Structure 1
Amino acid sequence: MKRLRPAAVAVAVLATAVGAAGCNDTVSSGAGKAVSDQLKADTSNWPAATPQQGLAKGLSLPLEEYMQTYEQTVVIAQAVRNLQSQCMARFGFDFRPPPAGNTPPPNDNDANIERRYGISDRTIAEKHGYGLGEPQQTGTRMPAISKAAMVVLSGRSSGEKNAKAATSYQGKDIPEGGCSKWAIDRIDAGDLDFSLAGKLNQESLIRSQESPEVSAALKKWSACMKEKGYTVDLPFNAVDLAPVEGSQKQIQVATADIDCKKSTDLVKIWFGQDAGLQRQQIDENQLALEEAKKKNDSAVKAAEKALRS
């Protein structure tokens, strides 16, 4: 999840389920019932804040504290959509995007702890191998929108990125950047940036893999796989042994992969090294990480307030 770009929101809201939030949950932001009632999406298939089963059950990395949860993403997205609808209504347009949160990802945040060290849930592997099965998507179709409505939504004369700014519609002033930017600015979500946490997250994974402890555990895992008839050096490469998603052969490789992770304690060893590195990273980047987190928390609170109103 990178920086939110308000100018692109008009396109994003029509193209993605999260849409106008432009950002990346179980309802973990502390949203109350009044807010939850506004999240009209089916939350039953949303990812949990921490894995509920498998070898990664209960694991959470330190940097996750500085990432946006899926629920926070949806809260912001829904607030922006509601505000966009209000703004568009002032110009006579009935603009009703579908509820945010109908296309949940398999993980709660960018750490992707469930598959960070390769697959870790045998129950899923027994059904889908290295795949996830068909994603559950409901009510995601975006509304048809006229050219005139797109002008008001985007604040541009043709809705195109390089088109000149449109300042009015039928005698009414269009907010700078259109209803899209106006909605984002109302909850101060235009400057959310999680790139530092994302960068550190990737670095810790790479560095932890190179640690003596993880290197030794990987060798044991590879030897275990060899005993089961599979020659592979890293869990990330195991899928290449059976690339057809969900095939019986892939399921056999995937379950062997997880069994070898369990017998060698690979996931916990790797997690331990990864978490240790992240704690160091946080110490070294505390101020910048806290500033990004503060902006996110502020945007979430503003979004929750907007949803209650």
Structure 2
Amino acid sequence: MTELIVRLTESQKVELVNRAASGESLTSLAECYGISRQAVRGILRRRGVPPRVVGKLSEAQRSEVVQRYLDGSSIANIAAAFGVSEPAVRGLLVRRNVLLRKVVHALRHDAFDYLNPDACYWIGFIFADGSVGYRPGYLPQVSVGLAERDRRHLVALREFLGSTASISGPSITHGSCQFSVRSARLADRLIELGRYQGGVDQRLVESRDFWRGVVDGDGSIGIYQTARGPLAQFRLVGSRRILEPFTEFVLLRGLSRLSVRPHKAIYTVGTTRGGAERIIRLLYEDARLALHRKAEMAARILDGRSRSE
């Protein structure tokens, strides 16, 4: 019998590393990505990530973690005190056969049912920077990890979802903050709209809010100095199945066609000068919701500071 070999894209590997850094187990990651535990361990080793952040705790510290929880401390407070992630603490407690207290968080499970501008934006952002995971015996999980400098964007996502779940502190390995919720309805909706397979829902393809979310997650906009003066540049990376609908969106708005080009294990589209400015204007002008630092850069470009004098 021929064994099916699954090769992860670069974006999937980055996603896997972020989830491992937040404390998710090798078994869970292997099941989610359809690869072996050894393959997961190999990816983490090559990226310099320990398989379990909690492994850095001594046996005495692990015992103290258990005792603090039994004494009434929350998982969030314990994680902060020991400098590890909440999933790492939770996993340790489960392995020590500690009965976990039931915590019920508020959550808008219907947040993505109606594709209004805000919903389209956050769906795009999750398509780019988030993950949807299914694990036997658990509710599906929607997770997003961002650098500490972008933590307030996770706060905005949490507010949109009406969630009371905590945002984990920066990972000791990557400095990223993690936010996740468990909801079959949210997860199934993201899959239905095209997160991993099939075509992207046409309503999203036609939404500038969706594409602004994607660009905030996996794109870059900037001003670059050249001999002729400052010039705007736009770039978006991802899978072909995401980038081709983006070129369709741009073309339907009367802008020039972009070419999808291979870039290592993924693909990229990009342009400079006036073409970049027009795309940035299309996505960011008068936008109510955007990643703060990219919105600031877009404002600089649209104010004319990327053009030669």
Q: Determine if the TM-score, normalized by the shorter chain, exceeds 0.5.
A: no
Over alpha carbons, which structure has the higher Rg? 1
> Higher relative contact order at CA 8 Å, sep ≥6: structure 1 or structure 2?
1
Q: TM-score, normalised by structure 2?
A: 0.21
Q: TM-score, normalised by structure 1?
A: 0.21
